[in-house]
Amino acid sequence: MADISRRFGWRHLRSAPTSHIRHHKNGRPSHEGTGLSFWFKPLSAALSEVPVNDRELAMAFHARTADFQDVTVQATVTYRISEPGSAADRLDFSIDPDTGIWRGDPLEQLSTLLTETAQQHALDVLARTELAAALADGVAAVRERITAGLAAEPRLPATGIEVVAVRVVAIRPEPEVERALRTPARERIQQEADRATYERRAVAVERERAIAENELASRIELARREEQLVEQRGTNTRREAEEAAAADAVRTEAEAARTVRLARAEAEAARTSGEAKAGAQAAWLQAHGEADTATLHALAATRLAENLPRIDSLTLSPDMLTTLLDRFGRGERP
């Protein structure tokens, strides 16, 4: 929108660099160009402002496919007014000389022209395409057809409009149809997810089985080694017992031999002692046999004295002394 200011009955217009201004004074061209700035009298001036920058036009319209399914087409058309003079001649781009606001709605007219033209060509393509094909490859086909249709439309060059680019954002079916179309894909995805879950479970079960087999093998190996250990311990115990028995046998034999030797030595000593005693007794008897009676009596008294108990003290009473003296006096033995 142009910037218009007031000074003493005059008006000053200052346009943007992307706006084409046309000024007619009393029906004759006075100023025309892009980014102008000038003074004018409002009562004799006719002004028009045409934007020459690129503009985006978003459009959405309904169409029906060959199998009678309703779809919504979302597209965007980028255009610009390459010939602002032609556009000012065909459309009302006049502005108020006091406010600089368009008197009409020229851009809405351009939008309607572009939208209806694009919709016509899109409907023509979709009417011969089934829904599945339209959803799969319809975006490119519709974009190409709209681009070709806008390029061949005679009103656009005559109005000074140049189409820069056409983009088709999406082709969407009705919500019910879209849900129905999503169902097989969702079921397939769910089946893939279930299969992946089952595969993960199978892998987990296989791993658990492998772990259990490893544990069982470890236990079997441990039991086998324990059995070998027990067997080795038994062998060692048996060997120790055998060695202990052999040692006991050797010890017993040694003790028996020692006992025999001791018995033999004792027997020999006893025999020798007996022989010595017998010899002594024989000599004693022989000596006694050859001795006289007085000697024998003396020996007997000596032997008797040796066997008598020891008398530490002897008490003689007067009576006993008198009796002994009497006996000695008579020559009697006590």
List per-residue pLDDT tens for the chain, 334 residues long: 778 888 888 998 998 888 999 998 988 889 889 989 999 988 888 999 999 999 999 999 899 999 889 999 999 999 999 999 899 888 989 988 888 888 889 999 999 999 999 999 999 999 999 988 888 888 999 999 999 999 999 999 999 999 999 999 999 998 888 888 788 888 888 888 888 888 899 989 999 999 999 999 999 999 989 888 988 888 888 888 888 888 888 888 888 888 888 888 888 888 888 787 877 777 767 766 666 676 666 666 676 666 666 666 656 666 766 776 776 666 555 5
Minimal CA–CA distance to 18: which of 82, 108, 103? Answer: 82
Minimal CA–CA distance to 13: which of 22, 91, 87, 85? Answer: 22
Whether the Cβ atoms of residue 15 and residue 34 lie closer than 8 Å to each other: yes
Amino acid type, 122: A
Whether the Cβ atoms of residue 3 and residue 100 lie closer than 8 Å to each other: yes
What are the strands of the beta sheet with 55-64, ordered from one edge?
55-64, 70-81, 161-173
- Structure-token pair, residue 217: 């093998």
Q: Give the total residue count for the chain.
A: 334
Q: What is the predicted pLDDT for the residue at 315? A: 66
Q: What is the predicted pLDDT for the residue at 164? A: 94
Helices 131-152 and 106-126 meet at what angle, rounded to 10? 130
Q: DSSP states of 258-273 as a string?
A: HHHHHHHHHHHHHHHH
Minimal CA–CA distance to 6: which of 92, 98, 78, 86? Answer: 98
Q: What is the predicted pLDDT for the residue at 322? A: 75
Whether the Cβ atoms of residue 21 and residue 49 lie closer than 8 Å to each other: yes
- Structure-token pair, residue 29: 């061209």
What is the H or E stretch that residue 328 is in?
helix 318-330
Three-state secondary-structure class, residue 285: helix
Contacts of 130 (CB under 8 A, 6+ apart): 65, 66, 67
Whether the Cβ atoms of residue 66 and residue 138 lie closer than 8 Å to each other: no
Contacts of 157 (CB under 8 A, 6+ apart): none
Q: What's the DSSP call for residue 102?
A: B
Q: How far apart are CA 129 and CA 117, in angstroms?
A: 19
Q: What is the predicted pLDDT for the residue at 287? A: 67
Whether the Cβ atoms of residue 44 and residue 31 lie closer than 8 Å to each other: no
